[in-house]
Amino acid sequence: MSDTWLEVQDLTVHHGQLRAVDGVSFQVARGEVLTMVGANGAGKSTLLRTIAGLHHQTSGTISFKGVNVTKLAPQRRVRMGISLVPEGRRLFPSLTLEENLQVGAHRATKGSFTIERVYELFEWMPQRRRQRAWQFSGGEQQAIAIGRALVANPQVLMLDELSLGLAPIVVERIYALIPEIVAQGVGILLVEQDVTLGVGVANRVHCLLEGKTSLVGTPGELSALQIERAYFGAEMSSPSHHHEDHP
């Protein structure tokens, strides 16, 4: 499938003796958004970090455009076209906004996302480009972090917990960017604790529970109850509380 850009097969990742990711498989195609939902500790961040190359997997394969990247160092994967916006933004605090973007671009492949394009996406950036990154607010930092990943012109963009620690209105604005990015043909792998947000932008949804896949489908196919059960594990919800079950 030439449209499948990222393919993960039977991935198992350990954190010490704890199995954080257990036999997970999925694909991300060009121009689509795959959302991973799950509670804290479900293994989502570990999964993204492993795909990015920061963490060693125990077994399974990761392929990018048909090429097995399992043994490649993180910086090699970036140059091939996989970018991660990590949990917590992780900007370079002592560098200016522009320098942060420049670092993101220094190994960029050719593409439509240049630093100027990012400045167009976020109109407030140009006049503050010489401010140090630590001086920006959480939402602004998130935007800069996304910009930094975009200027590398990735083909698969992984977003880890975009909404964490941000005010709802700020999160809305950030999420409004996603269709624009997808329109350029970028495939997005989105990790979110907030189910509504995550499912809202998704083409497909993948639920993780204690490292294992608990539910897969499109937003249209899956009901809120199904997702809730997959999120928490079947024992958590009792039928009498949910009206969807009653005809």
Partner 1 sequence: MSVLTNASNPGEGLLRVRRSTHSPVYTLVGSLVLVVLLTVAPWIVPAEWSAVLQNFFILVTMATMWNLLAGYAGMISIGQQAFVGLGAYATLFFALKGVNPFYTIPLAAITCLVIAYPVTFLLFRLRGGYFAVATWVVASTAGIIIVNQAYLGGGTGKLLPGMPNLAPRSLQHLIYLATWAVALAVVTATYFLLRSRLGLVLASIRDNEVSARSSGTKVTSARRLVFLIAAAGTGAAGAVLALSQTYLQTGNEFNLQWAAEMLFVSMIGGLGTIEGPILGCIIFFALQQSLAQQGAWYLIIFGTIAVAVAIWQPRGLWGAFRDRFHVELLPVGHWVGDRKSEMKVRRPWFARLVPRGRKKPLT
Partner 2 sequence: MIWLNVVIQGVLVGGFYALFACGLSLMFGVMRVINLAHGDMAVVAAYVAVFLTPHAHIPEVWAFLVVAPLFGLVGYVVQRTLIQKSIDRDPFTTLLVTFGLSVIIENLLLEIYSSNGQIVNVGELITKSWHPQTIIYISYVSLAVLAAAVVVLALLQLFLSKSGTGRLIRAVADDHEAAQLSGTNYQHIFGIAAAIAFATVALAGISYGMMTEFAPTSGGVNLLFAFETVVIGGIGSLWGTLVGGIALGVAQQFGAHINPEYQVLAGNILFLVVLAVRPQGLFGKKTALS
User: What part of residues 78-117 is at the interface with partner 2 (CB under 8 A)?
Assistant: 78-79, 83-84, 86, 90-95, 99-100, 102-104, 106-108
Q: Spell 77-105 as b/e; 16+ CB within 10 A means b.
A: bbebbbbbbbbebebeeeebbbebbeebb
First to last CA, the chain: 41
DSSP tally for the chain: helices H, then strands E = 8, 10
- Cα Rg of the chain, angstroms: 18
- C-alpha 25/C-alpha 16 separation (Å) is 22
- Kindly state whether residue 17 participates in binding partner 1, applying the rule CB under 8 A: yes
- Kindly state whether residue 174 participates in binding partner 2, applying the rule CB under 8 A: no
**Residue 56 interaction partner, one of partner 2, partner 1, none, beta carbon < 5-8 Å per kind:** partner 1
- Kindly state whether residue 56 participates in binding partner 1, applying the rule CB under 8 A: yes
User: Which one of the spans 13-21, 126-134, 163-171, 195-203 is the region binding partner 1 (CB under 8 A)?
Assistant: 13-21
CB of 94 to partner 2, least distance (A): 6
| One of 49, 77, 206, 229 touching partner 1 (CB under 8 A) | 49
Q: x/- string (CB under 8 A) for partner 2, residues 113-152?
A: -----------------------------------xx--x
Whether the Cβ atoms of residue 85 and residue 189 lie closer than 8 Å to each other: no
User: How many other CB atoms are there within 10 angstroms of residue 27's CB atom?
Assistant: 18
- Count residues binding partner 2 (CB under 8 A): 28
- C-alpha 208/C-alpha 44 separation (Å) is 7
- Kindly state whether residue 15 participates in binding partner 1, applying the rule CB under 8 A: yes
State how far the alpha carbon of 69 is from the alpha carbons of 75, 80, 121, 204, in Å. 11, 9, 31, 24
Question: Residues interacting with partner 1, by CB under 8 A?
Answer: 14-18, 49, 54-56
Binding site for partner 2 (CB under 8 A): 52-54, 73-75, 78-79, 83-84, 86, 90-95, 99-100, 102-104, 106-108, 148-149, 152
